[in-house]
A and B are shown apart, each in its own frame.
Chain A
Amino acid sequence: MKNKRDILLTVAGLVVLFGAACYAQFEMGSYVRRIINLCLIYAIIGLSMNLTNGFAGQFSLGQAGFMAVGAYVVGIFTVPVELRPNVFYAEPMNPLIADIQMPLWLAQLVGGLLSALIAFLIGWPVLRLRGDYLAIATLGFSEIIRIVITNAQSWTNGALGIKDIPALNDVRYIFIATAITFLFVTCLINSSYGRAFKAIREDEIAAEAMGVGLFKHKCMAFMISAFFAGIGGGLYATLLGTVDPKNFLFTLTYNFLLIIVLGGMGSITGSMLGSIIVTAGLEYLRVFDEPLELFGMAIPLFRPGFRMVIFSVLLMACVLFWRKGIMGTNEFTWEKFMAFCKNPVKYFTQKGAN
């Protein structure tokens, strides 16, 4: 976003999309709204993952864990106090928190901040090392957080999960959260700090020699990423209406990995596209999870879980043959968009020539 025209167009674009969100909210069925909301939430988390993995070049696999943190904070603090004895029927809620109730936005914010704090605690020792220790540490964290949640019965209701989270299937609210995340990440990447992240991705040694403090900037990217994953996790909890440790299995992280790889590591608009494709795709791939009979014969592979097999194969194919994803590190820009509108044929032939 360089000049005034682009900023205006972006604002206009967001207003139009917000109009569409309102339309969806009032005119569409709850199933479609749910899918739209899931797309939007996945976009938030995809963006957050792209920040560390795509822009700063640090391979983190902690998204499911950070989502769990955000989701549980929302779960714990938004369930109305009077409903809590019902939810925490096995073991009563810890008196420290039993009377604290927060509005959704506040609980989300607390969840995001807590995620960022945890990211700092993970990053403090790990981000000083060279190499892919972050992947291992975040992987471990995702598992540990689930074990902690399962065992902290009086805080999280353990394996029973938290029910009765005030459900929010409101496209407008979630759209605004996504738009804020999108704008924040875009502005961050287009600032001097964003350039520093990219420098680290391109060449750590050169970045450091140019005065970019590696630990400081990696930590920054990782914490901001965790913050938004927490925010997204909080929304996820309200969309589901219940949370339970099994929602945040490590495999959830793969969804976001696919989103950023498919959309393009290091492309914000790529992550947005990726999240739409992956969420919609996962929804439509559900047919593969249903038993299927053709001419009276049961097709053997069609059973619950087959969807994930297809999904993994897609991820593998993507990594093997299409490493740059849809967008590479490019972005949608209004300039390209206009060139395309004026003369689509020329746009593609010229692009091919380069």
Chain B
Amino acid sequence: MSTVLKTESITMRFGGVTAVNELKLNIEEHKIVALIGPNGAGKTTAFNMITGVYTPTEGKVKYTAPGKDEVDITGKRPSDIAKMGIARTFQNIRLFKDLSVYENVMIAKHLHLKSDVFSATLHLPWYNAEQREMEKDVEELLRKVDLWELRNEKASSLPYGQQRRLEIVRALATGPKLLLLDEPAAGMNPKETAELTEFIRQIRDEYNLTIFMIEHHMDLVMEISDWIYVLDFGMEIAQGTPADIQNNTRVIEAYLGVDEDA
């Protein structure tokens, strides 16, 4: 199994706060890897360092697209990282609220466009060909995830669960190799969570993805993950298979608070 993403002791400090401390991740191809930990543990910050929103104070992020050489992506711009094949969703849904479902997904296709702005404006033949290709892909994708009927709705008018799903679909449309999901099941009921679990598996297999996700719903995490990292106060306190993590005393302590008598 080859590694897709590797972080070499990345640290992020905000003033005096060390949000993430010497985190070492190693994410293998085609796996579903979870990052868990109590609130404020630094999980989202880790995502932000990987996707270029923040540049790590120390350490390096290395990415290997399948079949390509390893590249150092530390401090690269988010848009460039997206182009290399890392897509993400956000903890607080960040859809393009006033745009339609269709436009939301079409925008994610823009990064592969080769035509320059003038050929696009003048709708020259080679641009039109690209545009048709994009339309075809988006239609196929939206049909597959049952959002085609809703394509003309404003993104903000969708029910909450659909918005979460749309955000994943939008990330998928960029054609990623590695998909980062920040609390995809937040605010979902057990039924929706079960559906989401199935959906994540399905897209992993269909699009041959590697998935790295932050999640608080333990049943989802335990059911779906191949590997789990646990973070507390910015430090990794454990990693292992779901079975290992469930029985790890440090993890239990971190979640329940330290027992005085122990």
Contacts and interface: CB of A to CB of B under 8 A. Distances in A.
A116 interface: no
Interface in B175-193: none
B98 A329 contact: yes
Contacts of A203: 94-97
Secondary structure type dominating chain B contacts: helix
A188 B117 contact: yes
Interface in A177-218: 184, 187-188, 191-193, 195-196, 198-199, 202-203, 205-214
Contacts of A195: 99, 103, 106-107, 110
B131 interface: yes
Given A209-B78, A214-B79, A202 B99 contact: yes
B150 to A, nearest CB: 16
A210 B82 contact: yes
Nearest to B131: A192
A292 B142 CA distance: 65
A191 B113 CA distance: 11
Most buried by A among B79, B80, B90: B79
A206 B79 contact: no
Interface residues of A, number: 25
Contacts of B225: none
A220 interface: yes
A195 B117 CA distance: 12
Interface in A121-172: none
A199 to B, nearest CB: 5
Interface in B77-115: 77-80, 82-83, 87-88, 90, 94-99, 103, 106-111, 113, 115
Contact of A212 (B110, B117, B131): B110
Contact of B51 (A191, A202, A207, A209): A209
Nearest to B175: A211
A32 to B, nearest CB: 34
B46 interface: no
A211 B80 CA distance: 6
Contacts of A207: 96, 107
Interface string A211-232: 1111000001000100000000
A195 B100 CA distance: 11
B111 to A, nearest CB: 3
B107 A193 contact: no
A199 B94 contact: no
Given A192-B113, A195-B110, A202-B99, A209 B83 contact: no
B77 A206 contact: no
B79 A188 contact: no
Contacts of B251: none
Contacts of B80: 213
B134 interface: yes
A198 B90 CA distance: 19
A204 to B, nearest CB: 10
Nearest to B88: A209
Contact of A193 (B51, B117, B170): B117
A192 B134 contact: yes
Given A193-B121, A202-B96, A209-B94, 7 more contacts: A192-B106, A192-B130, A195-B110, A203-B95, A207-B107, A210-B174, A211-B174
Interface of B: 51, 53, 77-80, 82-83, 87-88, 90, 94-99, 103, 106-111, 113, 115, 117, 120-123, 127, 130-131, 134, 170-171, 174
A-B pairs, 5 with minimum CB distance: A211-B111, A211-B82, A202-B96, A191-B120, A206-B94
